[in-house]
Amino acid sequence: MAAKKKMNNGGAKPQAHGHSRAAAADLNDLVADLEALRADVRSLAQDVGSEASGRVSEALKSAEERLASLVSAAEEAASEAVDQAEAWANENMDSLRESVREQPVAACLIAMGAGALLGAILLRR
């Protein structure tokens, strides 16, 4: 029986070495595939990052252009409103002066009431 055990052990060793070599080769192939996959993922991440960076840059540039356009339009609208208010004040200034000359007491009372109202509003803050 001892001879059989030695023979089985001796016969099993070459098979184990054969499986061991195949497993080591498979493991080496798997490691190489994983390294290649890691390199591919890294490259893909860099490509995605540069693409995203380009798109973000384009979006920011577009937003800046839109904002500049809106600011310009707002400046034009404000300038136009000031011009219209000035024109209205100039047109109505003569009639206002005439009303004050005709009714100075009423004009003073209106001015005092407006001042008191403004003072009350400003004191509450």
Note the pTM of the prediction, 2 decimals. 0.41
**CA atoms of 109 and 116, how far apart (whole Å):** 10
In tens digits, the chain (125 residues) has pLDDT values of 444 444 444 444 445 556 678 888 888 888 888 888 888 888 888 888 888 888 888 888 889 999 999 999 999 999 999 999 999 888 888 888 888 899 999 999 999 999 999 999 999 86
Q: Looking at residue 103, what DSSP letter applies? A: -
Length of the chain: 125
For residue 3, give both structure tokens: 């001879």
**CA atoms of 120 and 26, how far apart (whole Å):** 89
**CA atoms of 67 and 60, how far apart (whole Å):** 10
Q: Are 70 and 77 in contact (CB under 8 A)?
A: no
